Structure 1
């Protein structure tokens, strides 16, 4: 199922940004052997050796805050753009990627036969959208308002094709215990706020967000011409509060074992009798489903009871609100503005919505992803870059292979299986080796709302059509234009889109130490996800199984418990700590990824010491390369939301993972009493 995809960041939407730090719209990256220790001849994008030394704050001791030592001046002098909730290295590259894609789409818009050009130009035409008013969504509203208790479940299935969510959600994904087959999954859903804590916590700021959410619903109803908006909004929030009360926490929902509950549709219906699942499946295009995987059984049963007990008016109104929100960007501007005012400003702290062209790029790239991707990689990702990245990936995998043999806590027989799993890895670099066919997607000039709905249906039907077919192992979960990376446990793969293989992550003109600390650690991060507290549950075939000895599990859990405790102690906002159990997988991946990247870097030196460059040793440059990719500032509201919902720790805490690594102590000489200093016995050692 999709839960086996583990990303280095939360989502692509968290990355979109407008660069204020100078980053060249560089020519395609040239081929430079990634493992060569000699200083490069070409000028790197950042500084003299690939690191922005001007962004450092050398008044800060590395042992007090390695983040501020490496990036303190950058943080103080680089404002968050008005249309961003956070800003850093990922955003800078995402901005570059969007700008390049815009150039491609602007050209395509000149061609009246170009499907992506039509989709892009139609989305851009705000005047035409406003002129149509609410007319485009009225048929959907009529369908929703005509729902009865008996027809509600089928309506949920229909609306899932359109892209409208409901209290119970479903979708097709790889079967965790049969990775050569697809299966239909059922998940808890139905919350309009980011997390159950927003509904249930007594924290004053979360309570204020809940109050603002109710006002937002009422405003959306009023703007859509709906009567009795305030009372209807309150009823929706009351209903969602009850859903929140029975929903699983994010910590429980990330457990691959707990969330794999396979049963027949008949068993599901018995578990949750208040909902007609067969009607939902049939109306949603998944006819003939016999077996399902239920992610949160107790929540699904409880939500089903809530649905059965709720007045049909409340159920309808929740769907109306979700429809208005999901399509606000292709409805009259006041609706679009109001949705951003709540989700962007109130919840995210972002003052200003992105320019329409950026959103048009995102819509087109998401709706016709492979059609846009083909043009992007042809222009911006040459084979030489792919080859250089392939070399670096092989070096990191080799270092991980060696490290497995050094583990004291893993049994010899388990190490044999771990080596076999590593040998089975499929690295995917840059872009897919084949593309999806979009000839069946109808795009109509001047019909922005219809294009959005038809694109949602096309993607939904594409997924449901996989049932009963062989697994599409060539398929990617991200576009090449995405500045991100991921691990897919069921596919036994690590995936690196073209857009992340650029400075500051990867610059063939930079010193190799910086590359190993940057993209090398990212590669190690994704690789090690397959051996983190959840990824380790999947064997060499990608099957969710028990392939470790009981002693291995006991030893491993003792180590991961220390990781949880270290991160629980961090307090990025007053009274709000990092959730060590929620962020465990990502923190372990940072720890292991940086460790194996360092091993690979040292191996690349062939026993020699790297030259000192601008006063920095090779080891210092390696760790500075790591710190540079995690430069990021957050608006307070966004940071609060992420501490509740994001499985990744904030950037300063991610940078601080270095405090657990003995070579960092040798490189920067932190002293006892400094904030990051740990005695050797207290440093986390897992992989």
Structure 2
């Protein structure tokens, strides 16, 4: 990082600052310094990939860390400033200079954080859609010469872009115009050091771990090197690793069973949409069009990514990390103005997760999430539908949650709901939000039900769809108890087992502020307490904790 630090030291004014930041963006290793330039599908035309300009990175996990006034938040900010100062001393600054420069970093980041949308506000795509001409961006931030930035990034021909948070750029301009250059040099140095710390010598790695993992998340010790290396290979060469993973772990039979299960659950969703008493025919027709347009991606991509342009050198770990990050940054920017690749995946095959993409209108289930103990081909259908089936239903429901429902069958941001049906949906979604807002995440921190609403609706709807699909798939079969559990009980046990685990209190606190998912226990108990099917399976009575007096249901 010495060349970057030397270059920062030579900055004398805004043109120098812009040139340095542009260079970092061009390299890809500092692509979120001050602002972010990326590619994404146009909200009003999902077939088109356009330029997005967004907020820059912060050193703390979320903007609320800078604005909350409770004692713990104040403590975290003080510890953060101490950490920044410590890192500055590690690159050669005196203790007094490091302390002052750390204060400069906190001051700038705080003023920028105040302008950023909250996590809840970010969930509404309309808040992120501000399509403008490049001249308009230049007018928003005249202190940055965008006519130099865009050509340097290979985007000289870009005239139209989406500015996700205009208020952020207004705040950035105010700060650039009113602050002297020295604090900006401190911020740039901090960005360089922070981003590189995981790949530098042991003292930087430990200092980075001590604050971000040990203090903020309560992690007592670093992962062994082999585990970190596996994670980095998956991050940087995921589809190369994925080819080997799929070959070794994912059989054609497993894929075929998953495809069949997915179709059963989509059939359950279709039957539900056709029978919903609160949805009118006009909205119902559009909902069915969207459902039928959803693309199912199971296991791995049809076409593997080509990494031949990425140079990996056995004796240059930090350089390998830089080149991999740069490779991905350039790959993303190269999409702008090109035909949309609907076959691309946003997760690697070994990933134990799944997702729905509202602009692609597809559901994606990597091979990693279709492995025991989550999906076990040797098990009966009940626990497999309860676990993997509920995951499939969860992602399918995302297409119709409070965020996904705003996109149409083609992935365009378009309101296809009648006002009455939108009101009916919101009334049912509010029931879920109120329910989860009553749960305690950790200490005195409640779940933010507005932040977790989409995931909570998907958890509930997905489990219901999986249950109905399992019943439909096994209709007419004489299912027997196994291991002392009835088939229905085995469904719910399977559903609950994906969430076995716990978090340390520090991580629970961070997740409560930043994670759109509720804590695991509520993703299970919050769901089944709304399901009469669960109460019947386990003989729960009215008034008991697992039976809600007024159950919530959206889908």
**Does the pair score TM above 0.5?**
yes
2:535·2:546 contact (CA, 8 Å) conserved in 1?
A: no
Q: 1:684 aligns with which of 546, 552, 555?
A: 552
1:163 to 23, 29, 37: 29
Name the CA shift for 1:154/1:173 in 2 (closer, same or farther; >3 Å).
farther
Give distance in 1, aligned partners of 2:129 and 2:91.
Answer: 40
Once the two structures are superposed, the pairs formed by residues 316-355 of structure 1 within 5 Å of their partners are: 316-355=185-224
Which whole-Å deviations, capped at 9, do the CAs of 1:606-659 have from their partners, x for residues lacking one? 145532223322111111111111112010000000000000000011011111
In structure 1, the residue matched to 2:531 is 661
Residues 539-563 of structure 1: CA deviation (Å, up to 9, x unaligned)? 1111111111111111111111111
Contact preservation (8 Å) 1:518, 1:626: yes
- Residues of 1 paired with 2:302 and 2:341: CA distance? 12
TM superposition shift of 1:677: 2.4
Which whole-Å CA distance do the structure 2 matches of 1:394 and 1:277 have between them? 48
Within-5 A mapping of 1:171-210: 171-210=38-77
Q: Residues of 2 paired with 1:143 and 1:609: CA distance?
A: 74
Question: CA offsets per residue over residues 474-524 of structure 1, 9 Å max, x none?
Answer: 111111111110111111100011111012221111121100110000000
The answer to whether the aligner puts 1:674 opposite 2:549 as a matched pair is no
Q: Structure 2 residue aligned with 1:630, among 499, 522, 529?
A: 499
Q: 2:381 aligns with which of 512, 516, 524?
A: 512
Match status 1:139 vs 2:3: yes
Residue 103 (structure 2) aligned to one of 221, 234, 238: 234
Q: Deviations over 1:225-279 (max 9, x none)?
A: 1331111011111111111222111100111112111111112222333433333
Cα distance in 2 for residues equivalent to 1:202 and 1:361: 39
Q: Which residue of 2 aligns with 1:261?
A: 130
| Whole-Å separation in 1 of the counterparts to 2:315 and 2:345 | 30
Task: State which of 382, 389, 400 in structure 1 corresponds to 2:251.
Answer: 382
What is the CA–CA distance in structure 1 between the aligned matches of 2:277 and 2:142, rounded to whole Å? Answer: 50
Q: Match of 2:121, SS?
A: helix
Q: Distance in 2 between matches of 1:146 and 1:168?
A: 21
- Asked whether the equivalents of residues 186 and 294 of structure 1 are also in contact (C-alpha less than 8 Å), the reply is yes
Counterpart Cα distance in 1 of 2:307 and 2:68: 45
RMSD (Å) for aligned C-alpha atoms: 1.5
* Contact 1:274-1:308 within 8 A present in 2 as well: yes
Q: Please give the alpha-carbon distance, in whole angstroms, between the structure 2 residues aligned to 1:627 and 1:370.
A: 30
8 Å CA contact 1:586–1:647 kept in 2: the answer is yes
Q: 2:358·2:404 contact (CA, 8 Å) conserved in 1?
A: yes
Secondary structure at the aligned position of 1:475 is classed as coil
The answer to which of 342-351 and 139-148 deviates more is: 139-148
Query: 374-383 vs 505-514, which deviates more?
Result: 374-383
Work out whether 1:152 is the aligned partner of 2:17: yes
Name the TM-score, length of structure 2 as normaliser.
0.96
The structure whose RCO (Cα within 8 Å, separation 6+) is larger is 1
Shifted more, 309-318 versus 233-242: the winner is 309-318
Verify: 1:358 aligned to 2:207, yes or no. no
Indicate the larger mover: 236-245 or 511-520.
Answer: 236-245
Residue 276 of structure 2 is aligned to residue 407 of structure 1: yes
Q: List, as ranges, runs of 4+ consecutive aligned residues in structure 1 with deviation greater than 6 Å.
A: none
C-alpha deviation, 1:154, in angstroms: 3.5
* C-alpha distance 365-238 of structure 1, shift in aligned 2 (>3 A): same
- Per the alignment, in what secondary structure is the counterpart of residue 413 of structure 2? coil
Q: Distance in 2 between matches of 1:625 and 1:668?
A: 14
Residue 236 of structure 1 contacts residue 318 of structure 1 at CA under 8 Å; is this kept in 2?
yes
Q: Does 1:585 align with 2:454?
A: yes
Q: What corresponds to 1:243 in structure 2?
A: 112
* Matches of 1:353 and 1:660, distance apart in 2: 40
- Provide the rounded CA distance (Å) in 2 between the counterparts of 1:556 and 1:210: 40
Q: Which runs of 5+ in 2 are unaligned?
A: none
Distance 1:581 1:531 in 2: 16
Number of residue pairs matched?
A: 549
Is the aligned partner of 1:218 residue 2:82? no
Distance 2:397 2:421 in 1: 17
Mapped to 1, the partners of 2:312 and 2:154 lie a distance apart of: 21
**CA apart distance, 1:453:** 1.6
For residue 200 of structure 1, report the CA deviation from its aligned partner. Answer: 1.5
Query: Kindly tell me: are residues 285 and 333 of structure 1, through their superposed partners in 2, closer, same or farther at Cα, counting changes over 3 Å?
Result: farther
SS class of match (1:222): helix
Alignment partner, residue 50 of structure 1: none
Q: TM-score, normalised by structure 1?
A: 0.78
1:151 is paired with a residue of what secondary structure?
Answer: helix
Deviation at residue 338 of structure 1 after TM alignment = 0.1
Instruction: Give the equivalent residue in structure 2 for 1:86.
Output: none
Match of 2:509 among 629, 637, 640: 640
Partner of 1:128: none
Distance 1:369 1:271 in 2: 38
Rounded Cα–Cα distance in structure 2 between residues aligned with 1:630 and 1:277: 47
Partner of 2:485: 616
Aligned to 1:289: 158
Alignment pair present for 1:544 and 2:413? yes
- Larger CA deviation: 361-370 vs 462-471: 361-370
Q: Structure 2 CA distance, aligned partners of 1:230 and 1:275?
A: 28
1:309 aligns with 2:173: no
* Contact 1:259 1:295 (C-alpha < 8 Å) held by counterparts: yes
